[in-house]
């Protein structure tokens, strides 16, 4: 595993702060609920959001061996689970296993793409 330039960590850290902010803010006015299409859209945003986070971690660790890919996915999925846990303290957001599953799906899609790409180019 090679360590890359510090700006990669800055970009990844800044994105993680953005994810934390978006995970913990109040999305609706008190007493109002999202329409089903809007809620579906917001739920599906977990997939590309955590795919991007996994990609950024792979870029930080600057390697595409299996260990790095799985470590990057594990960091992203763990961070997503932590954000879900933190939502329980807001009073207006809730913990959801389905959100963690979508986070994991996004992370694992990136791992799969890297592994397929490596096999095709080998």
pLDDT at 47: 97
- Whole-model pTM above 0.85? yes
The parent domain of residue 84 ranges over 33-121
**pLDDT tens digit string along 38-73?**
888 888 999 999 999 999 999 998 877 889 999 999
Number of domains in the chain: 1
Residue 98 is assigned to a structural domain of this protein: yes
**Residue 20: inside a domain:** no
Percent over 70 (pLDDT), the chain = 93
81 within domain boundaries = yes
Q: Report if residue 24 sits inside a domain.
A: no
The answer to whether position 2 is within a domain reads no
Q: Could you give the CA distance from residue 97 to residue 82 in angstroms, rounded to a whole number?
A: 12
For the residues of 68-82, what is the DSSP string, one character each? HHHHHHHHHHHHHHH
């Amino acid at each position: 595993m090679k360590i890359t330039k510090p700006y990669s960590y800055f970009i990844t850290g800044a994105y993680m702060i953005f994810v934390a902010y978006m995970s913990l803010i109040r999305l609706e006015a008190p007493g109002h609920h999202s329409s089903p299409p809007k809620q579906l859209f917001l739920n599906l945003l977990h997939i590309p959001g955590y795919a991007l986070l996994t990609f950024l971690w792979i870029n930080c660790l600057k390697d595409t061996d299996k260990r790095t890919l799985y470590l990057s996915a594990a960091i992203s999925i763990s961070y997503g689970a932590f954000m879900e846990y933190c939502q329980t303290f807001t009073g207006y957001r809730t913990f959801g296993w389905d959100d963690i599953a979508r986070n994991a799906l996004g992370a694992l899609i990136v791992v799969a793409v890297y592994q397929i790409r490596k096999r095709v180019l080998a």
